[in-house]
Amino acid sequence: MKSLSSKTWIISEKEKAEKIKNWLIQNGGEERSVNSQSEIWRVKFSDATLTYYSSGKLYCTDSDDPTVEDIHQFIYSLVGSQFVAPTRDFLIGLDTTGKGEVFGYTVIVGILMPKEFYNEIEAHIGNAYTKVKHEFEYWDDIFKKLDFYKDKGFNYVIQNIQPWQIDIYNINKILNITYNQILNLLIANLEKHKLRIVFDDYGIGPHLNRSLDSLSKAGAEIVKTTKADNTYLEVKVASIIAKREQQRVIKAISEDPEFQLSGLSIGSGNAGDSKTIEWLKAWKRTGREWPWFVKRSFKTIREIDGISEEPQKLIPPIEESLLSKEFREKFKNGEINITSLSLVCPECGAILKMIRLIPKNNKTTPICIDCENELLDVPSTLQYYCNRILPDSNTIIRGFISKDLEGVRFFENFTFLLHPVVRYETDLNRGAKAETEKLGKFAAIGRIRLEEIQCPEIEIKELDNTQRDDAILEGAKKYNAILITADKNMAGVAQAKGLFVIKIG
């Protein structure tokens, strides 16, 4: 993996190009012979080669030498950056990919970037352009360079919209809520006047606009523009991470034996990809149902299925009225706070800090602990407003989450946080290991997200059972996650601490 990616600048002024050439030679570069009539000059500097073309393009190859970054910075000082310069201490970019592919998820990403790493990150991004096809490894290589800054204040949040949801629902409402949720996670504990927040404008709805207006009044700079990844580095970074996530899932699907047909590749998942079309037609000939990752509402699939009518999309069942007023207000003002979360039962009016999940009518059913009526639309509402769930040890040991994901999918699209205490308590349990492996497979194909949280201050072996339970609950509070448990005592203590609980059984 190269530490600095290739980079291209457009320099129409020949005198600037000559100044760069002279600077390179004066600082240890060696002029080399040009290779074609289109090249004006070529200079070797360390392990990089810089070539200036008659078209005005200056190209620098990849490099493992950190000093080559000085070249990048010198060139920037002369010609400027293609991106709008930082105007605040923290830059937030949000973008989406996968809306047009017939395979896989729509991936939504938000990133937070401290301005002091702006130039370094721009150098790592190089010429990456998400509209050009590359293998997963290409995007993963860039992602690893970005992930290096995670301990330095750089952060990102990834969410997916499932293919079946895209088939059924108009996704703009989902986008609005999801962007809002991602934004709230990124800006927690940051002063609003230090933020620049840039969206690629997809037709932002009133719900998200209200939140953005609130942040603007608090001093944040809000930018909504088309093709934002061309002019704002923070959006381009978000776009690259989204592309990497999309390609990671496509790679996992392509490597699954269940979806391999006579050596055919599933291709890129794009409707214009001949390999994808060939695979789709071959799958259709098998007589099997379309796999979970195929978007059946897309014109390409409807044509293969012989369906002419346009699908009628529904409004997604995200019911804000189920959420407590306090939580809704905090959410609109840029805050996710698990202690403010409660649900309002539409049947009996009870204010709930806990709901129960029970098997009912061949599905996982959320019910009110007061009136025991089913709570409709709770999965989708929680998923898009408060996405994180922290399971305790007995939940993992029971295998409850994977059983749901194999069937009715209450938990699909949630982010599950694995606490170190839970890992410690389940490591020696064969059933728990099997469950963790199953969750890892679901995470690999994007059905859920799985994150291990770090608690270096905890000496787990020195804690008794009560202290370990307390550590898990503090983790849920710290990361604003819903606790899921089958333990009555654990559920009671969690509620006493103000947490929201999903109780199994």
Burial class for 226, CB neighbours closer than 10 Å (0-12, 13-18, 19+): exposed
Return all residues near 205 (Cβ < 8 A) that are at least 6 apart: 172, 173, 175, 176
Residue 487 lies in a domain: yes
Residue 230 lies in a domain: yes
CA neighbours within 13 Å on the CB side: how many for 382? Answer: 29
Q: Supply the CATH number for residue 41's domain.
A: 3.30.310.10
Domain that includes residue 389, residue range? 320-504
Q: Which of 59, 79, 99 is the last residue of a domain?
A: 79
Q: Supply the CATH number for residue 465's domain.
A: 3.40.50.1010
Q: Supply the CATH number for residue 176's domain.
A: 3.30.420.10
Residues 308 and 417 in one domain: no
Residues 250 and 370 in one domain: no
Residues 363 and 248 in one domain: no
Residue 289 lies in a domain: yes
CA neighbours within 13 Å on the CB side: how many for 10? Answer: 3
Residues 338 and 466 in one domain: yes
Residue 1 lies in a domain: no
Residues 241 and 156 in one domain: yes
Return all residues near 466 (Cβ < 8 A) that are at least 6 apart: none
- Cα separation, 418 vs 491, whole angstroms: 18
Question: Hey, what are 473's tokens?
Answer: 């609950």
Q: Which of 288, 312, 336 is the last residue of a domain?
A: 312
Residues 336 and 389 in one domain: yes
Q: What total number of domains does the chain contain?
A: 3
Q: Which of 247, 279, 312 is the last residue of a domain?
A: 312
Residue 2 lies in a domain: no
Residue 484 lies in a domain: yes
Return all residues near 105 (Cβ < 8 A) that are at least 6 apart: 98, 160, 161, 162, 163, 246, 249, 446
Residue 468 lies in a domain: yes
pTM of the model: 0.82
Closest residue by Cα to residue 443 from 252, 174, 309, 224 = 252
Residues 338 and 304 in one domain: no
Closest residue by Cα to residue 92 from 196, 202, 239 = 196
Residues 260 and 379 in one domain: no
Residues 54 and 110 in one domain: no
Residues 331 and 293 in one domain: no
Closest residue by Cα to residue 187 from 480, 501, 473 = 480
Residue 143 lies in a domain: yes
Residue 373 sits at φ, ψ, to 5 deg, of -85, 155
CA neighbours within 13 Å on the CB side: how many for 193? Answer: 2
pLDDT tens series, the chain, 505 aa: 456 777 888 898 999 999 999 999 999 999 999 999 999 999 999 999 999 999 999 999 988 888 888 898 888 888 877 789 899 999 999 999 998 899 999 999 999 999 999 988 988 886 676 766 788 998 999 999 999 999 899 999 999 999 999 999 999 889 999 999 999 999 988 999 999 999 988 888 888 998 999 999 999 999 999 889 888 999 999 999 999 999 999 999 999 999 999 889 899 898 889 999 999 999 999 999 999 999 999 999 999 999 999 999 999 999 999 999 999 988 888 888 899 999 999 999 999 999 999 976 668 899 999 999 999 999 999 999 999 999 999 999 999 999 999 887 899 999 999 999 999 999 889 899 999 999 999 999 999 999 999 888 888 989 999 999 999 999 999 999 999 999 999 999 999 999 999 999 8
Question: Hey, what are 28's tokens?
Answer: 């240890």
Residues 69 and 204 in one domain: no
Residues 290 and 428 in one domain: no
